Amino acid sequence: MNNAGVGLYGKLTDTPLEDKRKLFDINFWGVIHGCRAAVEHMRSRGGAIINLGSIASDRSTPLLGIYAASKHAVKAYTDALRMELEYEQIPVSVTLIKPTSINTPFIEHARSYMTNEPEFLSPVYPPEEVARAILHCAEHPMRDIMIGGSAKVFGMLNKMSPRALDRYMEASAFSQQKRSNPNDHRDSLDAPQRDGQRRGPTERRTLQRSLYTRAALSGVTRAVPFLVVGAAIATLRKNA
């Protein structure tokens, strides 16, 4: 399970190149090193490689652009690795987990060039949903899985009407990704500063579960489109 990752909030033109390179060293190259080591150990006896991507693997977010770029790279690497292992008939499954906003210390550990501390976009899901998906995919290989109905909604909207989604993000994401307290300039990009908590300091309400993800993991594929439509309607009503 390749889960090393750190965030970087700020406009792309305002964040230093050195910080962007550090982020890629962790988020992208960390996955590569982990996969290379795992394949060598599992080549003959088999196993499962699970890489943590993000909804940002499919859809970029303003103020979180370089993080999204690193997750796009993780997706591309994961997809290519899967095909190469299958071609060589190496018995190792490769799964990409793509969460939306998850209540972890991510925003606490992220470096920020905003005036306020970072915040998640709504809705926010519990970390247990990601853990459940990881365990499921280790035993029952899947190509990829989105965590959170909102991830599926954003993915569908991005395919159907990307420019409309651009406009929505421009109108909402800049303000929504800021907490009420000022930036304390503590982060984990260079070295760990604080840890030990499963959940983070988000001011948003955390949902108890993702019905969409649980349905997708259970194989009830017929119910998934209805759940997605329901989630889309709920999201639109909330933001109306």
Kindly state whether residue 1 falls inside one of the protein's structural domains: no
Tell me if 3 is assigned to some domain. no
Cα separation, 192 vs 185, whole angstroms? 13
Please indicate, yes or no, if residue 74 is contained in any of the structural domains.
yes
Instruction: Give the range of the structural domain holding residue 191, as residue numbers without chain letter.
Output: 8-239
The span from the CA of 86 to the CA of 94, in Å, is: 10
pLDDT per position as a tens digit, 20-36: 999 999 999 999 999 99
- In a domain, residue 168? The reply is yes
> pTM above the 0.85 mark?
yes
Which residues are catalytic, by number?
A: 67
CATH number where 127 lies: 3.40.50
Range of weakest confidence among 93-107, 112-126, 140-154, 215-229? 215-229
Number of domains in the chain: 1
**Count of alpha carbons within 13 angstroms of residue 64, beta-carbon side:** 29
